[in-house]
Amino acid sequence: MKRACFALFITLLSAGVGPAAAERHTIMKFTPEQLEQFSRAYNRAPRVYLDPALKARKSSVNLLPYLKYTPAERDQGACGNCWQWAGTGCMEISHTVQNGVKDRLSVQYLNSCAFSVIVKPCCDGGWLDDVATFYALNRFAIPWSNPNAYWQDGDASCDTDCASIATTPRYEISSSIAETIPTQGVIGGMENIMNVLDQNKPVFFAFFLANEADWDAFFDFWDNKTERSGNRVPASSAINVRLSARMQPYALYLLTRTN
């Protein structure tokens, strides 16, 4: 199983803090040092291959059929690990496309075992590079259906021990890398995103909001408006973004693109 997930970083939105405390789902809050770390990871990542033959080839493409998708089960709850859900979703799509295996992969395994592999605490904020590093070192992923591998930390309890999760059966991973889609300082950044999706490759997308008022506006849109209402979130108006059952407003994987 060779796995690559492609990162893009939209600069129209600035680094963020969380929404009102009444919101059920957490928003990751980062220090300036952490944001600088993410920026360095983005800049040092290899650039993704852009296929010139696919330029303007399709009017639309949908990667959702490659994902074993049950919306009610893709709920991170109060655990601040949206980056794990988004990165795991990328892996699931890549596994289907590359190997013809459409299976749920365990987010709980990554959340419970990240500390022992990459020193990342349970339910802690992170980035796509953390997912890629974990699996580059761990060398395998496990199905959601393994004993004790289903999602259990929605209450942020972090009481599922890594050793309690069955690691057989498993999917061996030959390589795990994060690649960057050029979108900053280039002409045709949106076309680059579309090109990657046209290659049936999933895209990890993260966005940042500046303050609580901006998050309140986002949740008002998400809770009360439709995608075609005309009130659009900045930096996402040109892409049809499918969220994981409204649980991941920070780190998303893009499943559908439209012109």
pLDDT at 235 over 90: no
The confidence band for 75, taking pLDDT boundaries of 50, 70 and 90, is confident
pLDDT value, residue 227: 59
What domains are defined for the chain? 2-258 (3.90.70.10)
Which residue, among 42, 22, 121, has the nearest Cα to 80 in the 3D structure? 121
Instruction: Round to whole Å and give the CA distance between 257 and 185.
Output: 22
The confidence band for 56, taking pLDDT boundaries of 50, 70 and 90, is low
* 75 SS3 class: coil
pLDDT value, residue 143: 97
pLDDT one-digit tens code per residue, 200-223: 988 888 777 777 788 788 778 877
Residue 244 carries which DSSP code?
S
Beta-bridged to residue 217, according to DSSP, are none
Instruction: Round to whole Å and give the CA distance between 56 and 122.
Output: 42
Q: Which is higher by pLDDT, 233 or 92?
A: 92
How large a percentage of the chain has pLDDT more than 90? Answer: 34
How confident is the model over 117-139, as a mean pLDDT?
92
pLDDT one-digit tens code per residue, 134-156: 999 999 999 999 999 999 999 99
Average pLDDT along the chain: 77
Q: Dihedral (C-alpha) 150, 124, 178, 241: value to the nearest 10 degrees?
A: 70
In this structure, are strands 203-206 and 2-9 parallel, antiparallel, or unpaired? parallel
pLDDT one-digit tens code per residue, 12-33: 222 233 333 344 556 777 778 8
How confident is the model over 165-169, as a mean pLDDT?
98
pLDDT value, residue 219: 78
Tokens of 235: 């930096």
pLDDT value, residue 233: 39
The confidence band for 228, taking pLDDT boundaries of 50, 70 and 90, is low
Q: Which is higher by pLDDT, 244 or 174?
A: 174
pLDDT value, residue 25: 59
Which residue, among 61, 46, 193, 34, has the nearest Cα to 125 in the 3D structure? 34
In this structure, are strands 60-62 and 175-180 parallel, antiparallel, or unpaired? unpaired
Tokens of 108: 């709980």
Instruction: Round to whole Å and give the CA distance between 15 and 136.
Output: 28
Q: What is the residue-wise DSSP string for 43-60?
A: HHSPBPP--GGGTT--SE
pLDDT value, residue 249: 31
pLDDT value, residue 131: 93
The confidence band for 11, taking pLDDT boundaries of 50, 70 and 90, is very low
Instruction: Round to whole Å and give the CA distance between 29 and 9.
Output: 17
pLDDT value, residue 38: 79
Instruction: Say how far residue 113 (Cα) sits from the centre of its chain.
Output: 18
How confident is the model over 146-168, as a mean pLDDT?
96
Tokens of 168: 């057989």
Q: Dihedral (C-alpha) 16, 21, 24, 26: value to the nearest 10 degrees?
A: 30
CB-CB contact of 105 with 67 (8 Å): no
Instruction: Round to whole Å and give the CA distance between 245 and 213.
Output: 23
